[in-house]
């Protein structure tokens, strides 16, 4: 409703204990004052309504000697009293009705309530007009309180926004707004403080609480050179971090943007209810008019005031606010609950789609496996020096952020000069194959077997049968050797696949790794189908075929840049947000901040619970509405009962919606 006020207070205080700053105290006082003033018109109207009813119906007052005063009360003062009480509570609704009329919106809950109560006044039912508007407004306040409750878990994310960043300026750390910090600046984060911007750790290590970003309470140890993200809380030692992203591009800013904009994408059910209300409202206006006027043609003792009263009762009962409020509130609650579990939905429509998923396809590396690789074995041909071989490979791989490339670079740094002495130029990435480059004027190919086959460079066929990930290398057009890289399946992956299999959701593995690795991973985890040696376009082709099956709703889970096309094509694209690439996270519909595959099933459970609550609200609201509408048309229901039925249905639907917040997943 338009009379709900939104108050925003800018606090410029840079105190570490923000909750104790004077700005925050003033803000809390103003919010409490605003909260009380919001209910003040309802309190005054309620008091006036009770007082008016006592005066009007009490025999004690009627028997007093002041007959003239009593006559004046009954005839004039009573009307003034109830009209005053009415306008105190009705002014915002009448104002909203007028505003809607000016925009040619004639059929809405405001016009419905305004017409019903003004009609009641016209036929002399002053107390009922006041009561209807009072209970409607109180119902709206309850709805607003419920919406605020549902928003709380999303608003909790906003509390992780740091108030200040302490930036190194001339040998000391000075407080600045995070928005003003530039890339390359060094910031200091003391124990207990939030990391204000994304950056690389300069200290040896420290532990960080990541619960605000991931929903996980287990601290994460971040070492020198590793990424610290905005919103994390430092737990161990004073940390110095070199900023590598502006605040607007930080992980925290993106998460906040996702959470705040999620509700703008409506679910189909929600859109249907909005459309339904647009059609439903003019129909009930017409029916109310017919109830008031049509009986004049066939009722013998037709009394206009009586039938008008029935029409007005019909209007009060028909108010669709229970539907219009409770359905989006149900989805809002679902989005809020999911965010508490480290799951970010980019819209209510994806909550609804998650309930219909029939197939889930997984990328392997970084999704089902840890994506933390280590060099297990280095084999090079006899005519190549092993140290020289590692140096050349590391020179190419050091420019890549891929986990395999990082593993090779780390191995080289630990075992000799490594990449420090080599420099790669003319770098060219061949998607799904590897990289070609020049190192010390030598043409170098680093990648998988497909890369060497593409350039028609022969290599031992038994390498293709190695189960682990292998990096093949060719130098100057000749096979030079290979590196075996070990990856480890996430402990949580088996649980995730079992949960999906038990709920008859078909699981598929789509991997760029060799067929043997894909087969080994799929059989270990009991995944239904597997495909290896896939390029990004091959993953898209398989997804298209799967989507083409009857009534298939397909989700794809990935974390890398190569997964972005598949994530975009899937009915529901899911990205692993902790270690995932920006491209994957940007294009995904759902982001799993914990990198835990089992959270996918949690997301499905939350979606199903949300959908059930929305359906319950629709059945409850429409069922009770139609019963009471039928009774109202025959004059069995009074306006008092009509307003109680309307507000009661809305409150029941609201209570049902917020029940989701307290449910455990």
* 278-290 residue pLDDT tens: 677 778 778 878 8
If you average pLDDT over residues 112-121, what whole number do you get? Answer: 73
Buried b / exposed e along 101-121 (16+ C-beta atoms within 10 A): eeeeeebbbbbbbbbbbbbbb
**533, 546: one domain:** yes
Whether residue 576 is contained in a domain is answered as: yes
**416, 456: one domain:** yes
Proportion of the chain above pLDDT 90, given as a percent: 17
Q: Give, rounded to a whole angstrom, the gap between the first and last alpha carbons of the chain.
A: 33
Q: At a CB cut-off of 8 Å and minimum separation 6, what does 580 contact?
A: 366, 558, 559, 560, 591, 595
Is the CB of residue 97 less than 8 Å from the CB of residue 111?
Answer: yes
CA–CA dist 118, 312 (Å, integer): 9
**Lowest-confidence pick of 13-27, 206-220, 333-347:** 13-27
Is the CB of residue 355 less than 8 Å from the CB of residue 334?
Answer: no
**410, 504: one domain:** no
Beta-sheet strands, E only, within 359-468: 359-362, 374-380, 424-430, 434-439, 442-447
**467, 511: one domain:** no
Place 583 in a pLDDT band, splitting at 50, 70 and 90.
Answer: low
CA–CA dist 416, 386 (Å, integer): 11
**Higher-confidence residue: 497 or 108?**
497
**217, 196: one domain:** yes
Q: Token digits for 115?
A: 């017409």
**443, 519: one domain:** no
CA angle 76, 82, 83 (to 5 degrees): 85
| Maximum alpha-carbon separation in the chain | 124
CA angle 131, 137, 138 (to 5 degrees): 90
Three-state secondary structure readout of 8-39: CCCCCCCCCCHHHCHHHHHHHHHHHHHHHHHH
**425, 350: one domain:** no
* Domain that residue 464 falls in: 374-486
φ, ψ (nearest 5 deg) of residue 506 = -75, 135
Buried b / exposed e along 351-361 (16+ C-beta atoms within 10 A): bbbbbbbbbbb
Return the number of other C-beta atoms located less than 10 Å from residue 601's C-beta.
20
**Higher-confidence residue: 4 or 238?**
238
Place 6 in a pLDDT band, splitting at 50, 70 and 90.
Answer: very low
**363, 496: one domain:** yes
pLDDT above 80 for 99: yes
Place 242 in a pLDDT band, splitting at 50, 70 and 90.
Answer: very high
**494, 482: one domain:** no
pLDDT of residue 530: 93
Average pLDDT value over all residues in the chain: 77
Proportion of the chain above pLDDT 70, given as a percent: 75
Instruction: Kindly tell me the burial class for residue 411, based on how many C-beta atoms sit within 10 Å of its own C-beta (0-12, 13-18, 19 or more).
Output: buried
If you average pLDDT over residues 405-432, what whole number do you get? Answer: 75
CA–CA dist 545, 538 (Å, integer): 11
Q: Token digits for 23?
A: 């700005």
If you average pLDDT over residues 624-629, what whole number do you get? Answer: 78
**481, 458: one domain:** yes
pLDDT of residue 346: 80
**582, 533: one domain:** yes
CA–CA dist 239, 244 (Å, integer): 15
pLDDT of residue 3: 39
If you average pLDDT over residues 154-181, what whole number do you get? Answer: 76
Last residue in a domain, options 245, 269, 295: 245
Instruction: Kindly tell me the burial class for residue 482, based on how many C-beta atoms sit within 10 Å of its own C-beta (0-12, 13-18, 19 or more).
Output: buried
DSSP three-state, residue 177: coil
Task: Tell me what percent of the chain is helix, strand and coil, each rounded to the nearest 5.
Answer: 55, 15, 30
Which tens digits make up the pLDDT trace of 525-576? 999 999 988 877 888 889 989 988 888 999 999 876 667 788 888 889 898 8
For the chain, what is the domain count?
A: 3
CA–CA dist 246, 512 (Å, integer): 33
pLDDT above 70 for 251: no
Q: Can you give the pTM of this predicted structure?
A: 0.59
φ, ψ (nearest 5 deg) of residue 59 = -65, -30
The alpha helices in 401-492, defined as continuous H runs, are: 403-414, 449-454
Query: Using CA atoms in the order 19, 22, 26, 27, what is the torsion angle rounded to 10 degrees?
Result: -40
Catalytic annotation on 363? Answer: yes
Catalytic residue among 185, 363, 513, 595: 363
Place 29 in a pLDDT band, splitting at 50, 70 and 90.
Answer: very low
Q: At 466, which CATH number?
A: 3.40.1110.10
CA–CA dist 554, 545 (Å, integer): 10
Whether residue 502 is contained in a domain is answered as: yes
**590, 508: one domain:** yes
Whether residue 333 is contained in a domain is answered as: no
Place 41 in a pLDDT band, splitting at 50, 70 and 90.
Answer: confident
Which tens digits make up the pLDDT trace of 184-240? 999 999 888 888 888 999 988 888 876 555 545 457 788 888 888 887 888 888 899
DSSP three-state, residue 451: helix
pLDDT above 60 for 57: yes
**Lowest-confidence pick of 9-23, 285-299, 437-451, 579-593:** 9-23
Last residue in a domain, options 245, 263, 290: 245
Last residue in a domain, options 576, 607, 638: 607
Q: Token digits for 436?
A: 């070609």
Laid out side by side, the sheet with 572-576 consists of 343-345, 590-592, 572-576, 554-558, 359-362, 506-510, 529-531
Whether residue 523 is contained in a domain is answered as: yes
If you average pLDDT over residues 634-647, what whole number do you get? Answer: 70
Whether residue 582 is contained in a domain is answered as: yes
């Amino acid at each position: 409703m338009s009379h709900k006020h939104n108050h925003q207070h800018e606090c410029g205080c840079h105190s570490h204990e923000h909750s104790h700053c004077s700005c925050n105290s003033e803000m809390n006082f103003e919010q409490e004052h605003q909260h009380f003033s919001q209910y003040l018109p309802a309190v005054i109207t309620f008091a006036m309504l009770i007082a008016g009813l006592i005066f009007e119906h009490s025999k004690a007052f009627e028997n007093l000697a002041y007959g003239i005063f009593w006559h004046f009360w009954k005839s004039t003062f009573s009307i003034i009293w109830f009209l005053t009480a009415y306008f105190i509570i009705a002014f915002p609704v009448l104002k909203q009705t007028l505003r809607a009329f000016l925009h040619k919106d004639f059929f809405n809950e405001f016009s419905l309530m305004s017409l019903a109560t003004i009609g009641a006044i016209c036929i002399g039912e002053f107390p009922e007009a006041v009561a209807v508007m009072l209970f409607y407004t109180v119902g709206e306040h309850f709805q607003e309180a419920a919406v605020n409750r549902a928003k709380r878990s999303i608003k909790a994310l906003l509390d992780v926004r740091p108030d200040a960043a302490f930036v190194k300026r001339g040998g000391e750390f000075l407080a600045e707004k995070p928005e003003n910090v530039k890339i390359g600046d060094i910031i200091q984060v003391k124990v207990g403080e939030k990391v204000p911007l994304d950056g690389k750790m300069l200290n040896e290590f420290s532990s960080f609480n990541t619960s605000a970003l991931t929903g996980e309470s287990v601290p994460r140890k971040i070492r020198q050179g590793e990424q610290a993200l905005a919103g994390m809380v430092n737990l161990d030692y004073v940390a110095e971090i070199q900023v590598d992203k502006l605040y607007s591009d930080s992980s925290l800013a993106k998460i906040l943007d996702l959470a705040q904009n999620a509700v703008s994408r409506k679910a189909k059910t929600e859109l249907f209810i909005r459309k339904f209300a647009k059609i439903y409202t003019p129909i009930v206006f017409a029916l109310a008019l017919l109830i008031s006027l049509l009986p004049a043609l066939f009722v013998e003792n037709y009394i206009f005031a009586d039938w008008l009263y029935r029409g007005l009762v019909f209007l009060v009962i028909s108010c669709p606010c229970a539907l219009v409020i409770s359905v989006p509130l149900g989805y809002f609650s679902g989005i809020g609950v999911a965010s508490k579990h480290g799951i970010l939905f980019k819209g209510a429509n994806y909550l609804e789609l998650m309930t219909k998923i029939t197939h889930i396809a997984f990328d392997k590396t970084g999704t089902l496996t840890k994506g933390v690789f280590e060099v297990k074995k280095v084999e090079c041909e006899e005519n190549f020096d092993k140290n020289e071989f590692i140096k050349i490979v590391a020179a190419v791989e050091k420019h890549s952020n891929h986990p395999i490339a990082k593993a090779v670079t780390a191995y080289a740094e630990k075992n000799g000069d490594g990449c420090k002495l080599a420099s790669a130029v003319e770098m060219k990435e061949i998607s799904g194959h590897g990289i070609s480059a020049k190192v010390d004027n030598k043409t170098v190919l680093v990648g998988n077997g497909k890369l060497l086959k593409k350039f028609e460079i022969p290599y031992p066929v038994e390498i293709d049968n190695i189960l682990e990930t292998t990096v093949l290398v060719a130098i100057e057009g000749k096979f030079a050797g290979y590196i075996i890289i070990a990856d480890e399946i996430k402990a949580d992956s088996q649980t995730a696949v079992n949960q999906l299999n038990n709920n008859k959701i078909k699981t598929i593995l789509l991997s760029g790794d060799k067929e043997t690795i894909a087969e080994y991973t799929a059989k270990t985890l009991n995944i239904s189908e597997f495909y290896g040696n896939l390029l990004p376009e091959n993953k898209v082709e398989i997804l298209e075929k799967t989507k083409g099956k009857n009534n298939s709703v397909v989700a794809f889970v990935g974390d890398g840049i190569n997964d972005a096309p598949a994530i975009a094509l899937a009915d529901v694209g899911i990205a692993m947000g902790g270690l995932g690439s920006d491209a994957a996270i940007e294009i995904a519909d759902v982001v799993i901040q914990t990198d835990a595959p089992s959270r996918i099933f949690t997301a499905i459970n939350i979606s199903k619970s949300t959908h059930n609550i929305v359906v319950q609200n629709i059945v409850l609201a429409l069922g009770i509405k139609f019963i009471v509408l039928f009774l109202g048309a025959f004059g069995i229901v009074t306006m008092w009962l009509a307003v109680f039925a309307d507000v009661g249905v809305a409150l029941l639907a609201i209570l049902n919606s917020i029940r989701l917040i307290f449910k455990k997943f």
